[in-house]
Amino acid sequence: MARHVARRDPRAHWVLLLLGLLLLLAALTLNGLVTGLAGGSGSPQGVTADGAAVAVPKKVSSGGPVLRLDRDEPVSRTMPDRTVALTFDDGPDPRWTPQVLDVLRRHGARATFFVVGARVNEHPELVRRILAEGHEIGSHTFTHAELGVASGWRRDLELALTRKAIAGATGREVTLLRPPFSSHPAALTGPEYAALRAAAGTGHVAVLADRDTKDWRRPGVPAIVEAATPQRGRGAVVLMHDGGGDRSETVAALEKLLPALTGQGYRFTTVSEGIDAPNSMVPAGAGSQWSGRALRWTQTGAGGVAGAMDLLLGVALVLGVARLAVQVVCAQIHVRRVRRPEHARRWITAPVSVIVPAYNEAANIAATVRSLVASDYPALEVIVVDDGSSDDTAGIVERLRLRGVRVIRQANAGKPAALNTGIRAARAELLVLVDGDTVFQPDTVHRLVQGFADPTVGAISGNTKVANRRRLLGRWQHLEYVIGFNLDRRMYDVLECMPTIPGAIGAFRREVLLAVGGVPADTLAEDTDLTMKVLRAGWRVVYEEAAIAWTEAPSSLRQLWRQRYRWCYGTMQAMWKHRHALREPGAGGKLGRRGLPYLTVFQIVLPLAAPAVDVYAVYGLLFLPWSTLLLAWAGLLLLQGATAAYALRLDGERYGPLWSLPFQQLVYRQVMYLVVVQSVVTALIGNRLRWQRMVRTGEAAALVGVTPAGRPS
């Protein structure tokens, strides 16, 4: 008994794709936050996040640099006389922190390091070395955030993440906090004071400074030494930096400052020991340590993702430029080849049979047939194969009563079967295969078959143009046909690896079609499949740009999706079917080693990566200077515009549609790469895509002034 097999629905992949893109954006955002860190000190400018004005008590602004603000009344402490607490902000830094530690060790000095949580995750070994050498660690927020203007949730998150990062790296939790961009207590602003009061509620003790060396400005070693030296034997908390920039002057200043003050009887200790307070670092619980490790792994992963995206963009850019260069060079070669003097050509006048497979083509079939009959080619027959149409397609052609036109009716069996029926019925040795919505120019057939003067040529591709280009979607497809398809075909011709002769216009030797078994029916891209079979049979396939066919392109996004979905899926089927061409000699090998890799990279791999590129663009809007983005966007559009203008000139087209090119990047491009995503998923899960027929509107018929019923308009 037959067993019913349920069709697997691939729609769940859209949810997975969306989640993946959101995770990618989150990873890039995290990396942007932790890598775009600045250093320095100085009072922040602004008000609190809620706009409230907070007064700094005089007891704080005129007091010591160590502030405990978790009580009703603030408490401040100062360093005893001849006691210096050297403090270093913005680290750890892999270059400067070790040098600072080396100087401190040589002079037997201890200090307090206020570390940035994100940098702790990047260099946990340096934080462990700081502790191992007897120094103290405090928090400097996770991303060097300006606490005075940060929202409450952002402030709490900055402090919590920093604690977790330090706990994951050292097994300790810290209580000391120095807000970024801070300096003396007298310079403390109301917003910053409010932020420190809030931080005190989570157990933080604020540490400002008595002496701000402003070493981040690199004022020179003597200036740093002078700024760090207490007056008249007093104690001091000295603010310096071991990260956030070039700290060579800081290291050199320490070499002078430490022996000079030691000689004056000063001692160098940590902040907690200096004020005779308990150790500010307490053992962290297992949960905090594991949370810290997970945070570090997440940050490392985000950095890896960002690095991979940078690599992807770099590779894509190089491939894009290389592709354009190859296209232009090949186009120039092709132009010189096809525009050789007319007297050098051998003219072909042998009889030609034109085969038109038609299924429900009532909107365009009359225009198609009339344009073929109006051809100036001397010996031409037209065979219309009606593939079981449910409309009056066959009747329209029969009522035209045109000389040299035959109609063959058959039960619906699909386009390949209709083409094979026409091939068997054809009388000529040269065959032209034409879609039922295509309109030829009078010289199209003549120009199309002239390439058969070369006995090595087995098939010829014509130049397909979009007829209905008045609307925006039509203009986008017009540009795609001219830029993408026709530039590629010129390149394929020169490289002798043409993978597709479009169904709208292609010419074949009858013997070639019979030798390869006719038009294949086991893929949805029968035109690509057939072309690859011709190449693998040892024949050349060339492109004739002057043989023009006008076709009706999809007029809605839904119809466009259905058409391109079938094209993409069918092309992938054909590529897999002919994968063994990779190791074949001759024309088949050129397809396998030139055409198939090109299709794989530019029609599958890069479109699959395109959603991630768009996410990277959103990331750029958040973290990159807008001037940089605008410059990059303008450069991209300029390159695309120049390419489009060159392609339009080669095809003898007007430059008017170029204005729609920027908008193509915002809608059309996304539809195209999502089609590839859908096709790949469909192929991977093993679904069999059915034929997707496009609804015709008859716009192509307007080119020759014919009504859908076949009567002159």
User: What would the 3-class secondary structure string for 73-86 be?
Assistant: CCEEECCCCCEEEE
Nearest to 434 by CA among 371, 348, 344: 371
Q: What is the length of the chain? A: 713
Distances (CA, A) of 464 to 22, 116, 482, 578: 39, 61, 9, 25
Rounded to whole angstroms, the Cα distance separating 144 from 95 reads 19
Q: Please tell me the distance from the alpha carbon of residue 553 to that of residue 498, in angstroms, as a whole number.
A: 22
pLDDT at 621: 84
DSSP at 450 = G
Q: Which residues of 440-467 are buried (b: 16+ CB within 10 A; e: fewer)?
A: bbeebbbbbbbbbeeeebbbbbbbbbbb
Contact 270, 111 (CB under 8 A): yes
For residue 331 the two structure tokens come to 């186009």
Provide the greatest CA pair distance for the chain: 116
617 plus 513 within the same structural domain: yes
Q: What angle do CA 226, 229, 230 make, to 5 degrees?
A: 135
* 140 labelled catalytic: no
Instruction: Measure the CA–CA gap between 376 and 384, rounded to whole angstroms.
Output: 19
Helix H or strand E segment including 421: helix 415-425
Task: Please check whether residue 528 is in contact with residue 364, taking contact to mean a CB–CB distance below 8 angstroms.
Answer: no
353 and 271 assigned to the same domain: no
Query: Does 309 fall in a domain?
Result: no
Pair 255, 103: CB distance under 8 Å: yes
Same domain flag for 50 and 141: yes
pLDDT score at 694: 53
SS3 labels along 517-531: CCCCCCCCCHHHHHH
The whole domain housing 261 covers 41-292
Q: 275 is written with which tokens?
A: 């004020």
Q: What is the mean pLDDT of the chain?
A: 89
Work out how many domains the chain is built from and give that number. 2
Among the listed residues 89, 210, 387, 437, the single catalytic one is: 89
Which CATH number belongs to the domain containing residue 236 in this structure? 3.20.20.370
In a domain, 400, yes or no: yes
37 neighbors 244 (Cβ within 8 angstroms): yes
Q: Pairing between strand 236-241 and 211-212?
A: parallel
Q: Is residue 35 part of a domain?
A: no
What pLDDT shows up at residue 442?
94
Instruction: For residue range 393-444, list pLDDT tens digits in order.
Output: 999 999 999 999 999 999 999 999 999 999 999 999 999 999 988 999 999 9
pLDDT digits (tens, 9 = 90+) for 501-511: 999 999 999 99
355: nearest Cα among 333, 394, 383: 383
Quote the tokens at residue 536: 């693998």
DSSP assignment of 468-528: --SSHHHHHHHHIIIIIIIHHHHHHHHHT------TTSEEEEHHHHHHTTSS--SSS-HHH
The answer to the question of residue 175 being in a domain is yes
| Domain termination residue (choose one: 292, 316, 333) | 292
258 and 384 assigned to the same domain: no
Residue type at position 365: I
559 CB neighbour count, 10 Å cutoff: 18
Q: Helix or strand or coil: residue 376? A: coil
Query: Same domain for 441 and 566?
Result: yes
User: Is residue 287 domain-shared with residue 357, that is, in the same domain?
Assistant: no
Q: 183 and 267: one domain?
A: yes
d(CA 527, CA 458): 14
Residue 335 within a domain: no
SS3 of 114-132:
EECHHHHHHCHHHHHHHHH
Written as six digits, the tokens of 57 are 């008590």
Contact 31, 306 (CB under 8 A): yes
* DSSP secondary structure code for residue 147 in this structure: T
Q: For tokens 């619980």, what's the residue?
A: 285
Residue 690: the pLDDT is 56
- Contacts of residue 318, Cβ cutoff 8 Å, sequence gap at least 6: none
User: What CA–CA distance (Å, rounded) separates 271 from 275?
Assistant: 6
Give 529-563 pLDDT, tens digit per residue.
999 999 999 999 999 999 999 998 888 999 999 99
Q: Which residues of the chain fall below pLDDT 70?
A: 1-10, 36-54, 339-346, 687-713
| CATH code for the domain of 696 | 3.90.550.10
The terminus-to-terminus CA distance of the chain in angstroms comes to 58
Cis peptide before 611 (omega within 30 of 0): no
Q: Considering 274, 292, 310, which residue would you say is the last residue of a domain?
A: 292
CA distance 142 to 576: 50
Collapsing DSSP to helix, strand or coil, 239 comes out as: strand
Reply yes or no on whether 241 is catalytic: yes
Tell me: do 288 and 383 sit in the same domain: no
| 3 state SS of 182 | coil
Q: Is 481 exposed, middle or buried (0-12, 13-18, 19+ CB in 10 A)?
A: buried
DSSP 712: B
Q: Which two tokens stand for residue 287?
A: 């949960």
What's the CA gap between 41 and 615, in Å, rounded?
Answer: 34
3-state secondary structure of 268: strand
Q: Tell me: the pLDDT tens digits for 22-64?
A: 999 999 988 888 876 555 555 444 444 444 456 899 999 999 9
Of 252, 273, 292, the position where a domain reaches its end is 292
The pLDDT tens digits of the residues spanning 234-244 come to 999 999 999 98
The pLDDT of residue 624: 77
Q: Which of 123, 144, 204, 241 is catalytic?
A: 241
**Do 352 and 280 reside in the same domain of the chain?**
no
| CA neighbor of 619 nearest in space, from 36, 16, 14, 19 | 36
List, in order, residues 6 or more apart from 337 with CB less than 8 Å away: 494
Same domain, 256 and 373: no
Residue 541, in any domain of the structure: yes
Same domain, 256 and 380: no
What's the whole-model pTM score?
0.80
Decide if 629 is inside a domain: yes
* Amino acid (1-letter code) at residue 429: E
Check whether residue 530 and residue 599 sit in a common domain. Answer: yes
Tell me the residue type at 308.
Answer: A
**Partners of residue 541 on adjacent β-strands:** 459
Return d(Cα 612, Cα 617) in angstroms, integer: 9
Give me the pLDDT at residue 34, please: 82
